[in-house]
Amino acid sequence: MKKCIGNSFISFFPDSSTPKTIIIDEIVVDPKFRRQGIGTQLINHVKNYVSQNKNLYNQITLFADPLDESVIFDNLISFYKANGFTQDSELANLMFWPPV
Ligand SMILES: CC(C)(COP(=O)(O)OP(=O)(O)OC[C@H]1O[C@@H](n2cnc3c(N)ncnc32)[C@H](O)[C@@H]1OP(=O)(O)O)[C@@H](O)C(=O)NCCC(=O)NCCS
């Protein structure tokens, strides 16, 4: 039997926004399987989708908001920065890929 150990919810905003954005609403990996590259695989899946659909999308946006009190904000930022995202200059939890 297969088990789900990671999940992400994304929203699509083609045409109606500038830049044309996919928003990662939530990304979570089972605590027992963290630091094994699974979150990166989920992010890469979205990046590949953007790269393959350049006519529809040119950016991924997200708000780095800890899922619960066990999640340290700075660690979340480290995760997204390790995956090539940059922080907005004003809103610390707003992040973009590719960097703007
Ligand atoms: C954020 C999350 C999805 C990362 O998933 P993951 O599978 O553990 O991440 P990866 O193994 O792909 O990590 C890739 C890199 O990101 C960085 N990173 C990941 N977790 C980190 C942490 N806790 N502290 C510091 N850096 C971290 C590291 O550079 C890591 O590479 P390394 O392990 O070789 O050092 C996972 O920690 C999680 O589910 N957190 C709780 C849910 C949550 O709050 N989600 C936020 C919604 S916005």
Pick the CATH number of 6-97 from 3.30.70.20, 3.40.50.300, 2.60.120.620, 3.40.630.30: 3.40.630.30
For residue 40, give the ligand 1 atom closest to its CA.
12
Residue spans per domain, the chain: 6-97
pLDDT tens by residue, 33-89: 999 999 999 999 999 999 999 888 989 999 999 999 999 999 999 999 999 999 999
pLDDT of residue 94: 95
For residue 24, give the ligand 1 atom closest to its CA.
48
pLDDT of residue 8: 86
Distances (CA, A) of 28 to 46, 53, 64, 74, 92: 14, 24, 12, 16, 20
Q: Compute the distance from residue 95 Cα to the ligand 1 centre, in Å.
A: 15
For residue 9, name the pLDDT band (cuts at 50, 70, 90).
confident
Q: Which token pair is 49?
A: 């989708």
Q: Which of 79, 81, 85 to mutate to test the pocket of ligand 1 (most atoms within 8 A of CB)?
A: 79
pLDDT of residue 16: 65
Phi, psi of 6 (to 5 degrees): -160, 150
